[in-house]
Amino acid sequence: MPLALIALAISAFGIGTTEFVIMGLLPEVATDLSVSIPTAGLLISGYALGVVVGAPLLTALGSRLPRKTMLVALVALFIAGNLLSALAPGYGLLMAGRIVAALSHGAFFGVGSVVATSLVAADKQARAIALMFTGLTVANVLGVPMGTALGQHLGWRSTFWAVTALGVVSLVGILTLVPAQPLDRSGGLRRELAVFRRPQVWLALAMTTLGFGGVFASFSYVAPMMTEVAGFSSGAVTWLLVLFGVGLFAGNLLGGRLADRRLMPSLAVILAVLTGVLVVFVFTAHSAVLAAITLLVFGAAGFATVPPLQTRVMEQAAGAPALASAANIAAFNLGNAGGSFLGGLAIDAGLGYTAPNWVGAALAAAGLAVTVLSGLLDRRRRVGRRPVAAHPVTTSAAA
Counting runs of H as helices and runs of E as strands, what totals does the chain give?
Answer: 17, 0
CB distance 235 to 24 below 8 Å: no
pTM over 0.85: no
Residue 149: per-residue pLDDT:
83
**Residue 317, phi then psi, degrees to nearest 5:** -100, 25
Q: Which residues contact 391 (CB under 8 A, 6 or more apart)?
A: none
Sketch out the chain's domains with CATH numbers.
Answer: 1-179 (1.20.1250.20), 187-384 (1.20.1250.20)
Residue 397: per-residue pLDDT:
36
As a whole number of angstroms, the distance between CA 65 and CA 198 comes to: 25
Work out the burial of residue 51: count CB atoms within 10 Å of its CB; fewer than 13 is exposed, 13-18 middle, 19 or more buried: buried
Distance of CA 33 to the CA centre of its chain: 29
Q: What is the mean pLDDT of each run of 10 residues along the chain (399 residues)?
A: 84 88 81 82 82 83 83 94 94 94 87 82 79 80 84 90 93 89 64 82 93 89 86 82 86 85 90 96 94 94 89 81 80 84 85 91 95 88 61 40
Residue 182: per-residue pLDDT:
67
Residue 315: per-residue pLDDT:
84
Residue 85: per-residue pLDDT:
94
